[in-house]
C-alpha cells in the first residue's frame, strides 16, 4: 500500500462524512415537518424504527445486489435510491440530536442546532470500533426505516396553532 492509496482512502472517508453531514442538515432544513415527525419516531420508538428499517433494508439491498450483475444501471439506481432514503431519514436523526442540543442551550439558532447535531452524529460514526460496529449499522438501518415512514406517511406531526382569542371592546 502506497502513500497515494492511503491518501485516496482517507479522502474517500472524509468526503463521505462531509457529504453525509450536508445531506442530513439539508434534509432536516428542507423538510422540517417530516424531520420533526421522524425525530419523534426516533425518540419514542427507536427499536421499532430499527426493526422497520431492517425489514425494508434487507430486501432492497438484496434485490440491488442481485441486479448489479445482470443489469448494472438498475442495481446502481436501487442503491442510490436507498442511500437517498437513508440520508432523508438521517435528517430526522439530526433533528432529534438538535432538539437535545437546544434543550441544553448549546445552539444559537435552529440551523446551528441541526448542523451541530448532524456533525456529532457523523463524528460518532467515525470513531473506531464503537462508531463502525454500533453507530453506523444502527444509523443506517434506523434511518432507512424512518425515511421510508417519512416518505409514505400522510399525517405530519405539526403542532397546532394557538386558538384565536376573542377580545371585547
- Reported as a single tens digit per residue, the pLDDT across 87-123 is 999 999 999 999 998 888 877 888 999 999 999 999 9
Record the cell numbers describing residue 50, joined without a space: 430499527
- Reported as a single tens digit per residue, the pLDDT across 113-138 is 999 999 999 999 999 889 889 999 99
Classify residue 126 by its DSSP letter: H
Question: Does position 42 have pLDDT exceeding 80, yes or no?
Answer: yes
- Reported as a single tens digit per residue, the pLDDT across 71-86 is 889 989 999 999 999 9
**Contact assessment for residue 145 and residue 50, using Cβ atoms and an 8 Å cutoff:** yes
Classify residue 117 by its DSSP letter: H
Record the cell numbers describing residue 34, joined without a space: 417530516
**Taking all residues of the chain, what is their mean pLDDT, rounded to a whole number?**
89
Sequence-distant (6+) residues with CB within 8 A of 113 are: 98, 99, 101, 102, 106, 107
State how far the Cα of 137 lies from the Cα of 68, in Å rounded to an integer.
22
Record the cell numbers describing residue 133, joined without a space: 460496529
| Reported pTM | 0.83
Ramachandran area for residue 129 (φ above 0: left; ψ -120 to 50: alpha; else beta): left
What length is written for the chain?
169
**Contact assessment for residue 146 and residue 89, using Cβ atoms and an 8 Å cutoff:** yes
Question: Rg of the chain's alpha carbons, rounded to an integer?
Answer: 19
Amino acid at each position: 500500500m502506497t502513500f497515494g492509496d492511503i491518501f485516496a482512502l482517507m479522502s474517500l472517508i472524509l468526503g463521505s462524512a462531509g457529504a453525509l453531514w450536508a445531506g442530513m442538515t439539508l434534509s432536516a432544513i428542507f423538510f422540517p415537518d417530516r424531520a420533526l415527525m421522524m425525530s419523534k419516531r426516533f425518540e419514542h420508538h427507536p427499536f421499532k424504527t430499527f426493526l422497520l428499517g431492517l425489514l425494508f433494508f434487507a430486501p432492497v439491498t438484496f434485490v440491488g445486489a442481485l441486479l448489479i450483475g445482470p443489469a448494472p444501471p438498475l442495481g446502481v439506481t436501487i442503491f442510490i435510491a436507498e442511500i437517498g432514503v437513508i440520508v432523508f431519514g438521517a435528517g430526522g436523526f439530526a433533528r432529534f440530536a438538535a432538539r437535545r442540543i437546544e434543550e441544553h442551550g448549546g445552539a444559537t439558532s435552529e440551523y446551528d442546532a441541526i448542523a451541530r447535531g448532524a456533525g456529532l452524529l457523523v463524528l460518532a460514526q467515525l470513531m473506531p470500533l464503537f462508531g463502525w460496529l454500533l453507530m453506523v449499522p444502527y444509523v443506517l438501518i434506523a434511518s432507512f426505516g424512518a425515511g421510508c415512514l417519512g416518505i409514505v406517511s400522510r399525517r405530519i406531526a405539526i403542532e397546532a396553532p394557538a386558538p384565536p382569542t376573542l377580545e371585547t371592546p
